[in-house]
């Protein structure tokens, strides 16, 4: 919405209730153009990467991302809550994904040692095999749809910008 869009009325949510009496800081035309380009590019990138996984991999993009997180952790194991936080997904969504992957033998769940309330998720040897087999096509798609499309400076700026956005979102969630 730009300052010229007088007919549109923003809705008030719990997170914006405190600032509801303040005048919104509308996006100017350039900010609106860049915001929409970001949204369009993000959706198309994730769709393309997801489609590529469906065609060339034994796992979905979300499942691949989960296996990567496990592969980078000690003993290829993480608590389910840490896995959900690291993936920026709800615990319920991660639980469903893990259940599907567990049925296929890619991961296994077990009670956390020292804290019986916690549940760990561990990558199995089959999960590791699938991850290794999927990685070349995944990296090729990331290059094809993003890395090779951008200049090194654009790619660096994108990474730095998204790191700042991620930190702001984490801080807001934790406040």
Does residue 17 form part of some domain? no
Does residue 115 form part of some domain? yes
Does residue 6 form part of some domain? no
The predicted structure's pLDDT at residue 4: 47
The predicted structure's pLDDT at residue 84: 86
Region 142-153 average pLDDT: 98
The predicted structure's pLDDT at residue 19: 57
Cβ atoms 142, 148 nearer than 8 A: no
Does residue 69 form part of some domain? yes
The predicted structure's pLDDT at residue 20: 60
Which pLDDT band, with edges at 50, 70 and 90, does 14 fall under?
A: very low
For the chain, what is the domain count?
Answer: 1
What are the φ and ψ backbone dihedral angles of 109, each rounded to 5 degrees? -105, 150
In the predicted structure, residue 11 carries a pLDDT above the cut 80: no
Does residue 2 form part of some domain? no
CA 145 to chain centroid, in Å, comes to 17
Write down the mean pLDDT value for the chain: 88
Region 139-167 average pLDDT: 97
Does residue 141 form part of some domain? yes
Cβ atoms 41, 33 nearer than 8 A: no
Region 147-161 average pLDDT: 97
Does residue 56 form part of some domain? yes
Closest CA to 107 of 75, 142, 147, 136: 75
CA 29 to chain centroid, in Å, comes to 28
| Calpha distance 134→8 (Å, rounded) | 45
Give the model confidence (pLDDT) of 63-99 as tens digits: 999 999 999 998 999 998 889 888 878 788 899 999 9
Domain limits at 135? 29-174
CATH number (domain holding residue 61): 1.10.10.10
Does residue 10 form part of some domain? no
If DSSP codes are grouped into helix, strand and coil, which group holds residue 92? helix
């Amino acid at each position: 919405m730009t300052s010229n869009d007088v007919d549109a009325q923003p809705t008030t949510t719990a997170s914006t209730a405190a600032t509801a009496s303040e005048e919104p800081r509308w996006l100017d035309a350039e900010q609106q153009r860049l915001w929409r380009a970001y949204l369009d590019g993000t959706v198309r990138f994730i769709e393309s990467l997801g489609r590529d996984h469906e065609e060339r991999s034994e796992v979905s993009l979300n499942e691949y991302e989960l296996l990567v997180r496990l592969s980078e952790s000690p003993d290829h194991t993480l608590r389910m809550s840490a896995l959900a936080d690291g993936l920026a997904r709800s615990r319920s969504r991660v639980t469903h994904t893990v259940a599907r992957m567990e049925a296929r033998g890619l991961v296994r769940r077990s009670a956390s040692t020292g804290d019986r309330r916690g549940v760990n998720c561990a990558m199995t040897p089959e999960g590791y095999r699938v991850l290794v087999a999927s990685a070349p096509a995944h990296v090729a798609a990331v290059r094809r749809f993003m890395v090779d499309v951008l200049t090194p400076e654009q790619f660096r700026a994108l990474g730095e910008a998204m790191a700042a956005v991620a930190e702001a979102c984490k801080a807001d969630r934790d406040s």
